[in-house]
Amino acid sequence: MAKEFDVCVIGTGPGGYVAAIRASQLGFKTAVVEKRFLGGVCLNIGCIPTKALLRSAEVFESISNASDYGVDVKDFSADFGKMIKRSRGVADKMSKGVQFLMKANKIEVLNGTGVFKSSKELAVNDDEGKEVETVKAKHFIIATGARPRELPNLKIDGKMIIDSEKAMQLEKQPKKMVIIGAGAIGVEFAYFYNSIGTEVTLVEVQKNLVPVEDQDIGKELAKIYKKKGMNILTDSSVEKVEKKGKGVKVTIKTKKGEEVVEADVVLSAVGVTGNVENIGLDKAGVKHEKGAIKVDKKTYKTDADGIYAIGDVIGAPWLAHKASHEAVVLAEQLAGENPHPVNYDNIPGCTYCEPQIASVGLTEKQAKDEGYDVMVGKFPFSASGKAAGLGHEEGFVKVVFDAKYGEWLGCHMIGSHVTELIAEAVVARDLETTGHEIISAVHPHPTMSEAVMEAVAEAYGEGVHLGSKPKKKK
């Protein structure tokens, strides 16, 4: 006999478990279906454990440079196994936290793979594909997330050619690593492994690292990574990977010709694709295309009545905070409330390499391509007293404004822990704050956050700390 619920959520990542909790809070009888682990990729094999690894690398790097701060440290080393173990411990703690939230909110957890039998009925299958439960619900929410994308000429074997999940759980630290793809995942692992002594080659087919970011950000990161000793190959592509004994030989087509790099392991970090296969979407009448379920971005309705989808499975941007926000909005809509819709033009992106990268809104090039007459301000952390005191003077804050109306079009940062600063720009843009309101808001000194105000002042020709010439009033 089928179990019946008001809301059934398939997948328990940052979109799924948040949708379930908010639905339960709003009075819905709620269940979740999870085939692997509560918390999904983000909590278990993505956002959270990678940040733990990056923190280990940051601590090791700080100790390596301790003499710069007048501190003498002797006889230290990177214990790769302990770093991995700590990372797994952090992930396990967060996953248990989701288990607690399920119980606290009286949400029934159904372990298995959710497969639609029709638009009104879902089978929950075990690892062998045997149906163990049948679920009926007034509302189904698909939040099955995404997985690493595989290149046709680069099949992941989990040993010499790996994906991000394996990269955070290797048994042994590689001496040499080639990373293909310089998006957020690629540059984060590049920083981690390089910091603890692995020889890293980073390959990106686009002209700049982190190609979705402002061009100045990618150029700055490449300069810093080269200084750290990484082999950076942009505007380059991997032609073939040959397994050779206990390692691999990677042939790379570059601007200067063909380059062959030998390594212990290759990490494929070329993006993700939605988990749309083998969950019965066709039987439910849910349409999908190129690894993403098609939805109305305001209501999250699919083509099937009573079925909705949120998070990575509906496509870019593939961000945990976007999925969680969609989850809350959807649950409140189902309850008949009128929540503020997600503003997809104001979703921040964060990359947790060191220096970190954070951004929101249009890049300078995008703004110009859209026809804006722009005012651009840039403030380097080398001019920040707090950054100098911290010993992290690399990077900058860059802002882009519309010259006609003063709209804050974009904000782009690279520097130490700038992911903690970007929220100011997100809130300000949401409130349609003008540049002069940012300038007149007193920022505490000395802080890294001052750089935001200083960059805005530079855009308006009112900066006082760079010796810039005032801009002519229009």
Residues in the annotated binding site for FAD? 51, 114, 312
445 among known catalytic residues = yes
The answer to whether 235 touches 255, Cβ cutoff 8 Å, is: yes
Spatial distance between the Cα atoms of 40 and 47, rounded to a whole number of angstroms: 10
Contacts of 422 (CB under 8 A, 6+ apart): 348, 350, 358, 359, 360, 411, 413
> Hey, what are 62's tokens?
């700080």
Residue with tokens 């105000």: 453
> Hey, what are 208's tokens?
């700049």
List 393's β-bridge partners, or say none: none
For 180, list phi and psi in degrees, rounded to 5. Answer: -105, 115
Spatial distance between the Cα atoms of 199 and 191, rounded to a whole number of angstroms: 11
The answer to whether 39 touches 32, Cβ cutoff 8 Å, is: no
Q: How many residues does the chain have?
A: 474
Contacts of 300 (CB under 8 A, 6+ apart): 141, 308, 309, 310, 314, 326, 329, 330, 333
- Longest CA–CA span in the chain (Å) reads 76
Classify strands 292-293 and 288-289 as parallel, antiparallel or unpaired. Answer: antiparallel
Q: Which of 139, 392, 445, 465 is catalytic?
A: 445
Spatial distance between the Cα atoms of 299 and 307, rounded to a whole number of angstroms: 11
Specify binding-site residues.
51, 114, 181-188, 204, 271, 312
For the stretch 287-317, what's the b/e string if a residue is b when 16 or more beta carbons lie within 10 angstroms of its beta carbon?
A: ebeebbbebeeeebbbbbeebbbbbbbbbee
Residues with catalytic function? 445
